[in-house]
C-alpha cells in the first residue's frame, strides 16, 4: 500500500515539477525574445550556424530548472512525511481507526510476504 501511495505521490510531484519548469522556461524564453528583437534580420544566419549549441543549452537549462523545482517541492511540500506515514501505519495496525479493518483486509497481507 505504501509503495502505491509513494509511487502515485511521486508521479504527481514529477508532473507538477514539469509543469512549473515549463512555465519558467517559457517565460525565460519569451523574456529573452523580447530583449533580442534587434537580431531578427540575422535570424536565419544565427539559427543555421548555432542551432545545435542553442538547443543543447536550452535542454540543459530546462533540466536544471526541472531539478530545482523538484528540489523545492521536496524541501517544502514533503516536510515531515516519514513521521506522518509512521503515525498512519501505527493507527492502521492498532485497530482503533474506522478504516483500519477495511485497509487491513485489503492490504494487510503485504507485510508478511516481504
pLDDT tens string, the chain, 114 residues long: the values are 555 555 566 688 899 999 999 999 999 999 999 999 999 999 999 999 999 999 999 999 999 999 999 999 888 877 666 666 677 677 766 766 666 566 667 766 554 444
27 belongs to a structural domain = yes
Q: Is residue 43 part of a domain?
A: no
pLDDT at 17 (0 to 100): 93
Considering the domain boundaries, does residue 20 fall inside one? Answer: yes
For residue 18, tell me if it sits in a domain.
yes
Question: Within a domain: residue 38?
Answer: no
Q: Is residue 6 part of a domain?
A: yes
The alpha carbon of 68 is separated from its chain's Cα centroid by a whole number of angstroms, namely 10
Count of domains for the chain: 1
For residue 71, being part of any structural domain is answered with yes
Nearest to 29 by CA among 61, 77, 76, 51: 61
Range of the structural domain that residue 85 is part of: 2-32+49-109
Residue 78's pLDDT is 73
Does residue 56 form part of some domain? Answer: yes
Whether this prediction's pTM lies above 0.75 is answered by no
Amino acid at each position: 500500500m505504501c509503495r502505491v501511495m509513494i509511487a502515485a505521490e511521486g508521479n504527481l510531484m514529477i508532473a507538477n515539477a514539469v509543469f512549473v519548469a515549463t512555465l519558467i522556461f517559457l517565460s525565460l524564453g519569451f523574456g529573452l525574445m523580447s530583449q533580442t528583437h534587434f537580431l531578427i534580420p540575422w535570424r536565419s544566419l544565427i539559427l543555421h550556424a548555432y542551432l545545435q549549441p542553442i538547443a543543447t543549452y536550452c535542454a540543459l537549462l530546462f533540466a536544471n530548472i526541472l531539478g530545482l523545482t523538484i528540489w523545492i517541492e521536496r524541501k517544502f511540500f514533503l516536510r515531515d512525511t516519514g513521521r506522518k506515514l509512521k503515525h498512519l501505519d501505527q493507527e492502521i495496525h492498532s485497530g482503533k481507526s474506522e478504516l483500519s479493518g477495511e485497509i487491513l483486509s485489503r492490504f494487510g497481507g503485504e507485510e508478511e510476504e516481504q
